[in-house]
Chain A
Amino acid sequence: MTTPTALLTIRAWCEDGSEHPLRAEIHLTQDVSSGFQHALTLADSERVVEAVRGFLEDLVSSSG
């Protein structure tokens, strides 16, 4: 049996002229064989970092 592969993709762009121009669309899954399990869009870089950190922490805790 192969180890599940987790995947996180971030599609990011800027809406010029917006007060908060960042748009980061995140798709993530802890097992690609199930497809993407969650999707969220954020406009704040700190929250993007939090989402990535949470994803990695979930991965580590599920492997232990």
Chain B
Amino acid sequence: MLPTVLTDSVDIAVRRTEDENMDEMKNRAAYTMRRRGGHGPESGGRSKEGPRISLLGGFRLEDEGAAIVLPEGSRRLLAFLALRGRLVKRPVAAGTLWPVSTEEHASSSLRTALARLPDSGRAAVEATARDLGLSGRVTVDIWESRALAHRLLAPESSTQGGDVGAGAVSDLSGELLPDWYDEWVLIEAEDWRQLRLHALEALATRLTARGHYGDAAAAALAAVRAEPLRESPRAALIRVHIAEGNISEALREFARYRELLMVELGVEPTERLHALVADLFDVTPR
């Protein structure tokens, strides 16, 4: 049996940990509520006021439309918080952003990254002694684009006005932080790449159904550019041409893809893709 003094101290320590956990849960719940009321990752909403972080096509922080230049450490910190979209414990942020440093050095780098934020950048961060997150006023382009992609992949009734148009093609065409090679970025970038590929194909299908063939072709082409050797975006593009009655362009696209596959991999398109264009050869004028 433990001596009384020790059991008391253990008991106090346990109670303190429970209190701390409770405080932390309250903090996180309050943060989530604030974000939901504002422009959090879940809402995907966009406001013209307050700081805006762009991660698609490269990092950019703007406030009232003016670009703000940041030191590299501060840029990486804001990008990390934007990708997480929720409160992050300081040691987790430090360890992720400076993985090969000692814990002490990583913490110091984190403090420096925070200290070097200019006033407008500091307004974008919500910092407590334990946690870091983005303030409720911040908007982030990837949150909006992800929300758009999910709406396009959900049943048709989920889409909002303007979702199915040329603007959506642009919102889904950007790569996430190209030329950033940190592990925490590469995984998110790949996740975004997969989501946007599927969303662009779905967008092409919906635009085709509405007879908006130009925008439909742009959506399918954006998917093809992202993954030239993958068959499904190429099939989406061929279907747009067929729906428009542009048989020669459909056949040309098939031939381009077939040649690319042969040169790069020495393989033929699948039977499914062959079947998509098989009937077209009969209707092509000789």
Contact = CB atoms under 8 A, between A and B. Distances in A.
Interface of A: 7, 9, 11, 13, 15-20, 23, 25, 32, 35, 41-43
Given A15-B270, A19-B267, A43-B267, A25 B186 contact: no
Contacts of B268: 18-19
B106 to A, nearest CB: 15
Chain B, interface SS category:
loop
A17 B229 contact: no
Contacts of A32: 181
Nearest to B275: A17
Interface size range of chain B in the complex: 10 to 19
B190 interface: yes
B225 to A, nearest CB: 14
Given A13-B230, A20-B267, A23-B229, 20 more contacts: A11-B190, A15-B230, A15-B231, A15-B270, A16-B270, A17-B271, A18-B267, A18-B268, A18-B269, A18-B270, A19-B268, A20-B265, A23-B230, A25-B229, A32-B181, A35-B179, A35-B181, A41-B229, A41-B264, A41-B265
Nearest to B271: A17
Nearest to B186: A9
Contacts, number: 33
Instruction: Rank and list the top 9 A-B pairs by shortest CB-CB distance, nearest first.
Output: A17-B270, A43-B265, A32-B181, A18-B270, A20-B267, A17-B272, A15-B231, A41-B229, A17-B271
A54 to B, nearest CB: 18
Given A15-B231, A23-B230, A35-B179, A42 B267 contact: no
Contacts of B265: 20, 23, 41-43
Interface in B200-238: 229-231
Contacts of A13: 230
Instruction: Name which of B181, B186, B270 has the most chain A CB atoms within 10 A of its CB.
Output: B181
A41 to B, nearest CB: 6
Interface in B175-206: 179, 181, 186, 190
Contacts of B269: 18
Contacts of A41: 229, 264-265
Contacts of A9: 186
A42 to B, nearest CB: 7
B96 to A, nearest CB: 16
Interface string B243-286: 00000000000000000000011111111100000000000000
5 contacts: A7-B181, A15-B230, A15-B270, A17-B272, A18-B270
